[in-house]
Structures are given as C-alpha cells and as structure tokens.
Amino acid sequence: MRHLRNYIHAFCLTALLLVSAGIAFGQVPDPGAPGPLAVTREEYNFGDTAFQPSNFPGPVELLASIHYPTNLSGGPFPLIVLLHGRHATCFVGGTQLLQWPCTANNSQPIPSYKGYDYVSEVLASHGYVVVSISANGVNAVDNRVQDLGALARAELIQKHLDILKTFNTTGGAPFGTKFVGKFDMTRIGTMGHSRGGEGVVRHYVLNDSVGAPYGIKAVFPLAPVDFNRFVVNNAALNVLLPYCDGDVTDLQGVHFYDDARYNVPGDLAPKHYVLVMGANHNFYNTIWSPSSPFPGATNDWLAFVAGGHSDTQCGTVAGNQRLTEAQQRGTGLAYMSAFFRAYVGGENQFIPILTGDAPPPPSAQTSNLFVSYHAPDDPNLRLDVNRLLNDTNLTINTLGAAVTQTGLTPYELCGGEAPQPQRCLPDQPNARQPHTTPSARSPKRGLSQLKTGWNNLTGNYNNQLPAALGNVSGFQAIQFRVSVNFADARNLADLAQEFRVKLTDASGSSTSVRVSNVSQALFFPPGKVGPVPKVVLNTVRVPLSAFGGVNLNAVRSVQFTFDERLQGAILVTDVAFASAPQ
C-alpha cells in the first residue's frame, strides 16, 4: 500500500512537472527551423598559399564560404565563423592525399569547409552572416608541430576576421563595398569541429591576448580534441560530445567545460555541453560522411573502432542506437543554432533548450541526448553547494557547512588534483572515462568527482546550508552532474539507477523528488565495445517548484537519498542551486 501511494505520488509529481515544463517552455520555438530570410552563398579565395601561420611548416589557403541574408538592408548582422577539422586535403579519383597545395597530377582539394552548409543556411536565414573557413593547408602538416596545429588554426581564424573587417569597413575584392557596415564584429560566435574545436578555443585565447579586437561572444567546440588544455573564460561555451565518436574516442573535449567551470572568479558566461547518444564524429560534416562523393568519407565508428560493428549502441547490430547522417546533423543544427542565436544574437528564448529546461527541439531529430549546464558565476544565478574539488569537500562543503553521509562506500574523490587518483575507474581505459583522460601536451588533471555507492536502502549524502544562505527561492533549480558507474557491479547492466533529491527547511519540513521524474541521466552507460560504455556526468536539474511544502526561503539541507534501489554506484560533482542566464 505504501508503495502504491509512492507510485501515485510519483505519477502526480511527474505529471505536474511535465505540465509545468510545457507551460513554461512549450512556446520555445525551434532554433533549427529555417528562417524567413532568403540566403545567398558566395566564396572568397585569395589563393592556396596566401597565408603563413607563424612558425608553421607550410602555407595555408585563404578560402571561405559566406552565407548571408540576400537582403542586406537589415545589417549589421552577427557573425558566425565555422572551422572544420583534420581530414584528407586532396583527392584524385577515389584516392585521398595529404598534401598542400594539391600538386599531384589532376588532384583537387577536398572541400571540408562546405560540410556545414546545412547550419550556415539556417543561421543566415535568421539574420546571421556565416563564414566557413577552409583549413586544408593546416591539416597537411599540423602533425609536425608540437601543438598539432592549434595555434595555426587560431591565427587562420584571426586572419579571416581581419579580412572580414576589411570587407566591413572599406570593402574589398571580390565583394566591393557590398558588405560595408554589414558585419557586427562585436558579436561573433565560433564553431570548430574536431581539431577545429580546439582551434576555436585557441583562437578565443589568441584574440583575448591581443586585446580582443573581435567580440567573440560564444565558442562551440564540436567533437573537439583538447590536446593543449586552453580554456575559454568569459565567453559562452557549448561542447558537443558524440557518444559514438570513433575518432576522438575519449571525448577529451569535455575538458573544455570541466576546466572552465571555476577557473575565473566572476566569470559571467554560461557553459554547456551536449552528449549526443548514437552520434559519431564525421556525420556532422557532410563532406566527411559516407553519402559524400569524396574519398576519405567514413563512418568513423565502424572504420576506426576494432569490432565496432558488433556494439549494441554504436554498431550495426539489431537494436543499435546509431543516428543516421540526417538525424545527427539535426542535433548539430539544433544546438549550434540555439547556442549562437541565444548568446550571439541575444535571442534568449532558446536558452531553456541549452539548460535542459526545454526538451530538444524538433530539428534535433532525436531526444536521446543530455544537456549539461554550468550557470554564470553570479550570486543571483548560482550558489555552489559543493564543488567537490578536494577532500575537505567530503566533510565541509563550498558553503562552509557540514557534509555527512550514511552508508556510502566508497566515499572518496577521484579524477582531480593529486592526491586524488588520476582516474576514477582504474581498470577501465581512458576512452571510457572522458573527464579524466590525460592530455599528452598538458599536465592538467581531470574532473574531481565524488565516487560513491550504497549497499542498502539507508544510504544518503547530505549537504547542510548555513542559515544565512538558506534562501534559495530566487533560483530555478537544484542541480548536479552525475553518471552511473558502469564499472561497479552494484549497478545492474542496462538498468537505470534511481535516487531522490530531498530539500529540508528550517522547520524540518522536507520534500523529495526522484531523479527519474526530471531526468534520464541515471541511465546505465550503453555499449560493450572499445570506447563504450563510458562515464559522462550529465546535469540533473530539479526545479525548485517541485519541492512543494518546503520553505525555499529557509532551506537547511540538500540530501541525496539512496532508498530507491537496493544498491548502486555513481559519480557526482557540481552540486549547486542555479538559474538560467538572464
């Protein structure tokens, strides 16, 4: 009978939350839907060897496409710059080559920069100018330099921004004065794919180091590498992580988010990442995808992961969860569009998609993805309860209040600074634990996480709040990041975990919410081959509106109550009250 009441309660709460979400966010438009403006596509090309990055062993082309609203009378328009990643540079017939310029007989360039036209067209139709840069010259020789081309890519972006500035001020060939006054160089977003992902981060740092002549407001590394561990501070960040990435198998790009969280006090920029289940590395670029006519196009999971075909999540066996090319590009389109339109264009209506408060829009073509969000370092937007950065945080949280636990084992931190163990899952390969995968060109450690588990229904993890900080009524949610630890046998394979989040106020009144009522983040990480399963900590945001009966002006504790499953094991970090950016 008690169980029945619990189920009814859970059902009602779920229904209430869903209805609330529908009311609150049902009107969120689809950022990836084509806009009303006609779009023109052109290119500029100053030659295959027109640019020489500093201390780089080869010349680079200055070639880019530019998508813009055909009717330019409404400018200046925000600017989005796209940069592809590492791929073969030239081809002859069905043969790919790695050279630059393409000098082999009858060889031609592989136009990787055209691979994101599907994003450019939509953004331009909403009033953005989108420039996609060709970087074959970098790709041809970047393995010969220590940073694997990050600085060369950054300098290439900066060079293109210089060119665009010229178009925007005095004008210049091949466009004459067409674009004079049409680019808003104070509102720029950058997206880089693969090595281009690190390139846009490196560019942000480069631009900042020279006085930020260009207003980079938002940086979107897509399936990025992070060899060098540069950090984006004070600009919006969104990292897209394809769960079935067969190239950057360790999803090392999650470091961009992890490293940026508490890096600069007062950083008012929001940070996000999106874990896309069933997505691989290459399908985000049409030129790199199997439907492309160009050599070198592959399904990277199948091509690069030994035995990858047989994986239940990422392979080709019956029941696999792989996304098609179109579906996968849908996720890229939806989340790039939402991100740039929100943080470059100021179209704040899309923010709930980025915080996870609104579901994936129809253009994403899948709902099997997980959004994580780190709120700006503004006391009105984020109150860190427990950053879980060091051993002190096992007993005293970030607010200076007591932390207690009952029945948890282990109860320890891993992944962060020494003396924490470098990896949280010591017997698992790096590719299965992205937050702690080492960086060959940086000594930085990974994400500090609480590694814990329970063996009966009495387990709990409790963070007190000082009375002076107990008024959390101004926040939207209590949130944290969590993953099921697939390497701990207390989690049954393929079965989602469950626990409750309980708030207690000064009068002792408390209410708890099952995680599954608001998030599917407690899924058992799927897959069995090579880089999968893998632990990626996804954000769970529990709206404070769900804690009816608790005085949100005087909350005294946040508790995770492990009484929904007899046993289990999780990794947790970043417990905070938080709101979406304003």
Q: Report how far residue 376's alpha carbon sits from residue 218's, in angstroms, rounded to the nearest whole number.
A: 14
Q: How many helices (H) and strands (E) does the chain have?
A: 9, 23
Q: Which of 146, 380, 458, 473 binds another protein (CB under 8 A)?
A: 146
- What is residue 40's three-state secondary structure? strand
Is the bond leading into 221 cis (omega within 30 degrees of zero)?
no
* Residue 508 · residue 559 · CB < 8 Å: no
In this complex, which beta carbon is closest to another protein, that of residue 405 or of residue 430?
430
* 67 in contact with another protein (CB under 8 A): no
In this complex, which beta carbon is closest to another protein, that of residue 90 or of residue 277?
90
* 217 in contact with another protein (CB under 8 A): no
In this complex, which beta carbon is closest to another protein, that of residue 459 or of residue 531?
531
Q: CB 452 → another protein: shortest distance, Å?
A: 23
Q: Which of 6, 27, 95, 582 binds another protein (CB under 8 A)?
A: 95
Q: What are phi and psi of 240, to 5 degrees?
A: -100, 125
Q: Which of 30, 147, 325, 391 binds another protein (CB under 8 A)?
A: 147
* 56 in contact with another protein (CB under 8 A): yes
* Residue 84 · residue 196 · CB < 8 Å: yes
* 143 in contact with another protein (CB under 8 A): yes
In this complex, which beta carbon is closest to another protein, that of residue 13 or of residue 141?
141
Q: CB 293 → another protein: shortest distance, Å?
A: 17
Q: Report how far residue 416's alpha carbon sits from residue 414's, in angstroms, rounded to the nearest whole number.
A: 6
Site residues for another protein, 247-306, by CB under 8 A, read 247-250, 281, 296, 298, 300, 303-304, 306
Q: What are phi and psi of 561, to 5 degrees?
A: -110, 115
In this complex, which beta carbon is closest to another protein, that of residue 99 or of residue 551?
99
* Tokens of residue 37, six digits: 């403006």
DSSP state of 543: E
* 429 in contact with another protein (CB under 8 A): yes
Q: CB 283 → another protein: shortest distance, Å?
A: 14
* 423 in contact with another protein (CB under 8 A): yes
* 97 in contact with another protein (CB under 8 A): yes
Site stretch for another protein (CB under 8 A), options 97-105, 212-220, 376-384, 464-472: 97-105
HSE at residue 166, side-chain half, CA atoms within 13 A, is 11
Give how many residues touch another protein by CB under 8 A. 49
User: Cβ of 235: how many Cβ atoms within 10 Å?
Assistant: 25
Q: CB 306 → another protein: shortest distance, Å?
A: 7
* Residue 131 · residue 160 · CB < 8 Å: yes
**C-alpha pair distances (Å), 174 with each of 47, 68, 157, 171, 178:** 13, 15, 19, 9, 10
* Residue 54 · residue 41 · CB < 8 Å: no
Q: Which of 31, 69, 78, 85 binds another protein (CB under 8 A)?
A: 85
Site residues for another protein, 523-542, by CB under 8 A, read 530
* 96 in contact with another protein (CB under 8 A): yes
Nearest to 525 by CA among 397, 428, 388: 428
Q: Which of 21, 24, 37, 145 binds another protein (CB under 8 A)?
A: 145
Quick one: CA dihedral 294, 299, 303, 309, positive or negative? Answer: negative
* 417 in contact with another protein (CB under 8 A): no
* 324 in contact with another protein (CB under 8 A): no
Site stretch for another protein (CB under 8 A), options 37-45, 79-87, 388-396, 481-489: 79-87
Q: Report how far residue 64's alpha carbon sits from residue 179's, in angstroms, rounded to the nearest whole number.
A: 15
In this complex, which beta carbon is closest to another protein, that of residue 270 or of residue 530?
530
* 362 in contact with another protein (CB under 8 A): no
* 156 in contact with another protein (CB under 8 A): no
Site residues for another protein, 431-490, by CB under 8 A, read 431, 438-441, 443, 445
Q: Report how far residue 283's alpha carbon sits from residue 278's, in angstroms, rounded to the nearest whole number.
A: 11
Query: What residues contact residue 7 under an 8 Å CB cut-off, 6+ apart?
Result: none
Q: CB 316 → another protein: shortest distance, Å?
A: 15
**C-alpha pair distances (Å), 574 with each of 34, 207, 264:** 36, 30, 16
> Identity (one letter) of the amino acid at 426?
P
Binding site for another protein (CB under 8 A): 55-57, 85-89, 95-99, 104, 139, 141, 143-148, 194-195, 223, 225, 247-250, 281, 296, 298, 300, 303-304, 306, 422-423, 429-431, 438-441, 443, 445, 530
